[in-house]
A = this chain, B = another copy of it.
């Protein structure tokens, strides 16, 4: 099983590393990080990660994985990333978009009529690519796995492993990662967070939301 994970500048590092920690623990799965060049890739909060290869070095992909964050919004409008994603999905058996990584799939025209998840602050915009936004942490539609925001990538990665390598392997990895999560307070969704917290997060993300709306509209027109 060849797993190709896309590295994007300004991505959310945990979008990538949460699922990587799960997927890379399946015996026999080879995980490679692909970037536009061999240069280190800086995530939005400064975590800087080295790619394993460039796009033209990826020869075989069984599972394509795409993280989200501002980087996915930029990649949506990058013809080279769009062409790469289209070509990879044609040959890959499975696709896994985390957080707003689904937007890159949408911009490549791959989510038309499909159920898909994304971060709660962006999810509705998936409809502009003809997708059916779903407010779940793990969304499966045929060969397409997508997740809600950031940390839901860990839940979705366990589902991917359960489906493709067996539920026993997934549960072994869950135990090895001691993944019996217990946030110290309720929250994590708008429905479970106090309204002032929701308002503060929306306010802090207002500019990102505005630029994302413009980027999605442009990508949808190009499609």
Contacts and interface: CB of A to CB of B under 8 A. Distances in A.
A113 interface: no
A40 B179 CA distance: 28
**How many protomers of this protein does the assembly include?**
2
Contacts of A170: 184-185
Contact of A138 (B14, B25, B47, B184): B184
Contacts of A174: 183, 185, 187-188, 193
B172 A204 contact: yes
A20 B45 contact: yes
A183 B182 CA distance: 11
Nearest to A190: B175
B155 A183 contact: yes
A171 interface: yes
Contacts of A4: none
A197 B177 contact: no
Interface residues of A, number: 65
Given A18-B14, A47-B20, A188-B174, A151 B154 contact: yes
A178 B149 contact: yes
Contact of A180 (B31, B159, B184, B192): B192
A198 interface: yes
Interface of A: 12-14, 17-18, 20-21, 24-25, 31, 33, 40, 45-50, 52, 99, 119-120, 137-138, 148-152, 154-155, 158-159, 162, 167-168, 170-172, 174-185, 187-190, 192-194, 196-198, 200-201, 204-205
